[in-house]
Structure formats: C-alpha cells, structure tokens
Amino acid sequence: MPIIVLTKKNLLLALLCGLLLAGGLFLYLRFRDRPEKGEVAEAMTQVETYELSVLPMQGRALPVYGVGREDNQIALTIDAAWDADKTPFILDTLDKYNVKATFFLCGVWVKQYPDFVKEISKRGHEIGNHSLTHPHMAQMDAIAIQKELKDLDDMLEELTGHRSTLFRPPFGEYSDTVIKAAHEAGYEVIQWSRDTVDWKQDRSAQTILDGVLKKLKSGDIILCHNNGYKIETYLPVLIETAQQKGFRFVTVSELLLSGETSIDNNGIQQVKKRY
C-alpha cells in the first residue's frame, strides 16, 4: 500500500484542485439552462411590450412613457405592422366616440395598405413613425437609424402630404444611440404606460380591460395593435368606460407638454423645473 506524504506543497495542490472543481460545477449549474443567442433573438421577435418599471434607467437617454398631467387627458396609440382586416372597424369605432388616435405605422404596412394610410390621415388621426423595416434598432448605428426614419417619412409624405414628428422604436427596444439619433432627426420618441398586450391570442378582452382601466390616470399613453386579437371586443368598451370616468382622448402630440420639459427616471415628461 503506497504511503502518501502530506507535505505543504501537496496540501496547496489539493486545495487548488478543489477550488477549480467547485468553480467548474458552479459555472455549469449557473449557465446550463441559459438559452442560446438564437433562441433569445427568436423570442424577441415575438415580443413588443415591456413593463414600465423595467426599461427606464437612471443615467440613460429616455423616451416618453407618459406625461405628467392632471387634466384627465390620455392618448390612444395603435401600432400597425401586420394585417389590416380590423382597421375599418377601428376607424369607425374611433369616429363613433369622437376619438382621435395616434397610429404608429411600419413601412411594410404602409407599402401594403397605402389606401388605409390615406384614410387614417383623412379622418384626422395622427401618424407616427414606426420605422421602415421594423428592425432591432438598438443594434444599429445612428446613420442607419436615421435612414430608417427618413425613408418611411418619405413614403408617408407622398401618401398624406405630411411627415411625422413622433417615433416609436420597434419591439420597444432602444439605446442611447436610438434616442439621440431620433432626437437629432427631429422626432420625439414615444413608448407607452398602459399596454393592452393584445398581440397575445390567449388574453381575454376582460383581462385587457382590467389591465388598462383599473390603473388609468392622466397623461397615460395606451398601446394597442391594429390587428390585436380581441380589439373588436375591447376597444369600444375601453373608450366608453374611460370617457365615463372623465378621461378625454387626445393625440400624442396634443398630450405632450410644451415649453421646456424634462423626462424623469420613470420616463414621465414633466415641465422643466427652474431653481
């Protein structure tokens, strides 16, 4: 039977081996269930909504999530990036309740449905820029971002005679570069404070209504989609209930404050304080 002599050198070597084994086990357990990069990208393409408390971060350039108002004005926004079979219903419902909304249009949708773009403008609704190709802009440089915005507005101007002044980033993704590039090009960057999450097929109309109406307050910006699964059921109830509560729907441009403003750490636009 061999005899092992426990020298100081042997003890240090054994300790080092133990630490390496423990570290390797920790890393394996920590990352074994982490999705691959491709899986993350695939999931992100299906998601265009984030909670208000997640994205705004102190020290970052921020978009407008909501507006600091106390006059019961709110804005209804409708993103259009796919299909249009429910658009006539949406436009007729807005007319019925005398509501002007802000439609954020994507270039793919504009190309496919130019007559609807004209009709949205004709009925007095505001049109915002939702990018030409709906890319992940946080991965792009300023020049590419501004080209996306300009190319779409060239199309909008040809169809409606107007260019947009509002921009909503695709997927709700943004970075300092995205915000600054948009500002330099003359756009206010707009997110949302109340999300219907109507792109999820399994959400009931009542769940959507409860999620929006129970916390609705002055200055809120509501996010809907032109082909949201339950929009034909929830939209009339949302508008009518909000109006009964004393809220008044305006376009995003009307909701925004004028003069010198700032955006707080929660993404709420405020009148700039003077000290």
List residues with catalytic annotation: 79, 225
Largest separation between any pair of C-alpha atoms in the chain: 96
Contact partners, residue 4, CB within 8 Å, separation at least 6:
10
What radius of gyration do the chain's Cα atoms show?
A: 25
Contact partners, residue 193, CB within 8 Å, separation at least 6:
52, 65, 66, 219, 220, 221, 222, 267
What distance in Å separates the CA atoms of residue 217 and residue 74, rounded to the nearest whole number?
Answer: 8
Which tokens go with 34?
Answer: 């982490």
Contact partners, residue 132, CB within 8 Å, separation at least 6:
106, 107, 147, 148, 149, 151, 152, 155
One-letter amino acid identity for 146? Answer: Q
H/E stretch holding 238 reads helix 231-244
DSSP state, residue 260 = S
Look at residues 173, 170, 169, 218 and name the one whose alpha carbon lies nearest to residue 194. Answer: 218
